[in-house]
């Protein structure tokens, strides 16, 4: 049985409840990201890396598509989870330069659930599957790289050749892409 009166009296007398070590209380974002990561159900084409195992708010996702235009590629995304997660989406950047209509040359990603369609019920798993889907079905209707979107809409064969050229480490137009094949 909890003795509320004696706890109240201790506080009044200035006796704080003993602290175990120097532990800080976990933030809501830390608690939620821990839950999301524990429940992560990655497809076989994806894996995660945690550069600092004690910092779950900053990690990398590696996607290696096994079909579509980007088959055989290896694409690294950085995730930065802010203190307002899950009320705000994590910041996701593609670290691998890629010729893609929905990813610009600065690594910004155009995925609706990372912007206006984000809801706190969505998880890291939702984002992983959304990113993977971008590689299976690039969306030229909502582009960040307008030139790639235009080529995809007008000539799928040329788009496919540009993707291969970029993934092998070459120039598409005046832009050089590092090799990103596995």
Alpha carbon 165 to its chain's center: 25
CATH superfamily, with its number, for domain 28-169 = Ubiquitin Conjugating Enzyme (3.10.110.10)
pLDDT at 22: 52
Model confidence, pTM: 0.85
pLDDT tens column, 79-123: 999 999 999 999 999 999 999 999 999 999 999 999 999 999 999
> Is the Cβ–Cβ distance between 135 and 65 less than 8 Å?
yes
Task: For the beta carbon of residue 175, count every other beta carbon within 10 angstroms.
Answer: 13
Which residues participate in catalysis according to the annotation? 110
Q: Where are the domains of the chain?
A: 28-169
pLDDT tens column, 119-161: 999 999 999 999 999 999 999 998 999 999 999 999 999 999 9
CA distance 10 to 104: 59
Length of the chain equals 182
> Is the Cβ–Cβ distance between 40 and 135 less than 8 Å?
no
pLDDT tens column, 19-51: 444 556 889 999 999 999 999 999 999 999 999
Alpha carbon 158 to its chain's center: 29
């Amino acid at each position: 049985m909890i003795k509320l009166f004696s706890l109240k009296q201790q506080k009044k007398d200035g006796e704080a409840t003993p602290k175990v070590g120097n532990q800080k209380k976990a933030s809501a974002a830390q608690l939620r990201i821990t839950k999301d990561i524990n429940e992560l159900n990655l497809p076989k084409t994806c894996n995660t890396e945690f550069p600092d195992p004690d910092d779950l708010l900053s990690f990398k996702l590696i996607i290696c598509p096994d079909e579509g235009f980007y088959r055989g590629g290896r694409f690294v995304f950085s995730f930065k989870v802010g203190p307002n997660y899950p009320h705000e989406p994590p910041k996701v950047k593609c670290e691998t330069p890629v010729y893609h209509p929905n990813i610009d040359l600065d690594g910004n990603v155009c995925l609706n659930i990372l912007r206006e369609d984000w809801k706190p019920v969505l998880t890291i798993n939702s984002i992983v599957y959304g990113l993977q889907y971008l590689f299976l079905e690039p969306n030229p209707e909502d582009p960040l790289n307008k030139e790639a979107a235009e080529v995809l809409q007008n000539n799928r064969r040329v788009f496919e050749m540009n993707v291969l050229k970029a993934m092998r480490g070459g120039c598409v137009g005046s832009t050089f892409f590092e090799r990103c094949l596995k």
